[in-house]
Amino acid sequence: MSSKLLAEFFGTFWLVLGGCGSAVLAAGVADVGIGWLGVSFAFGLTVLTMAYTVGHISGGHFNPAVSLGLMIGGRFPAKDLLPYWGAQVIGAIAAAIVLYLIVSGAPGFEGVGGFASNGYGDASPEGYSMMSVLVIEIVMTAFFIIIILGATSEKAPAGFAPIAIGLALTLIHLVSIPVSNTSVNPARSTGVALFADGPALAQLWLFWVAPLIGGAIGAVIWKMMSPDD
């Protein structure tokens, strides 16, 4: 179990450092910034690389909603759920600390701003309402779990699951960054919300509730489509 939890810690750390770090450090650089497209690929690449690196150790969840979905889908023991959540959240917070230390060294530093946090209303990148954010986070997380369960099924082609999962997360970000800044991952949301300026911490509840609901829905849908899996 200690090896599994360490793998989840480092996998989530890498997801937050790589994904949120790309948004904070590289997305808005004048003339050469990577923009939302680059951030979307950065998140996908973090999951793809760590799924290949430590997926054989812990299963490569890096996300409380994924752990819940896999548990409901019959792929993960319920007794391990809370320890996995703990490792994931701690990994996300540790990455946010490292990112904060980097950002605070910028010339003329006066605060981290949004710090790649998630939000609705005024905290949404394009001002989307709480209902819009709730819907997109539930739907995107549900599809993410369906893809994970399908790609890791014994009947799926072996060895390709991390590619499908990483590209799925990329696509999810391409669609939903303007709406919620894309969570689908309560740990990722928690880590940066602790340091962000603005309402991120007050709105964090939604980015636990919606992905967990979406994860559960996705698992139920998969079991209905593939009852023998």
Q: Which domains does the chain have, with CATH numbers?
A: 2-225 (1.20.1080.10)
User: In 3-state terms, what secondary structure has residue 81?
Assistant: helix
Cα dist from 67 to 74, 97, 209, 213, whole Å: 11, 24, 14, 12
With CA atoms as reference, report the closest residue to 129 among 206, 36, 216, 43. 206
Residue 126 CB neighbour total at 10 angstroms = 10
With CA atoms as reference, report the closest residue to 209 among 119, 144, 137, 148. 137
Per-residue confidence (pLDDT) for residue 157, from 0 to 100: 86
With CA atoms as reference, report the closest residue to 133 among 176, 188, 75, 186. 176
pLDDT in tens, 160-175: 999 999 999 999 999 9
Residue 37 CB neighbour total at 10 angstroms = 13
Per-residue confidence (pLDDT) for residue 177, from 0 to 100: 97
Per-residue confidence (pLDDT) for residue 41, from 0 to 100: 97
Asked whether residue 158 carries a pLDDT value surpassing 90, the answer given is: no
- The pTM (predicted TM-score) of the whole model is 0.95
Asked whether residue 31 carries a pLDDT value surpassing 90, the answer given is: no
CB 73 within 8 A of CB 222: yes
Mean pLDDT along residues 92-105: 97
Amino acid identity of residue 84, one-letter, is Y
Per-residue confidence (pLDDT) for residue 37, from 0 to 100: 95
What the block records as the tokens of 145 is 């779990």
Q: 115: which residues sit within 8 A by CB, 6+ positions away? A: 20, 24, 96, 99, 100, 103, 192, 195, 196, 197, 200
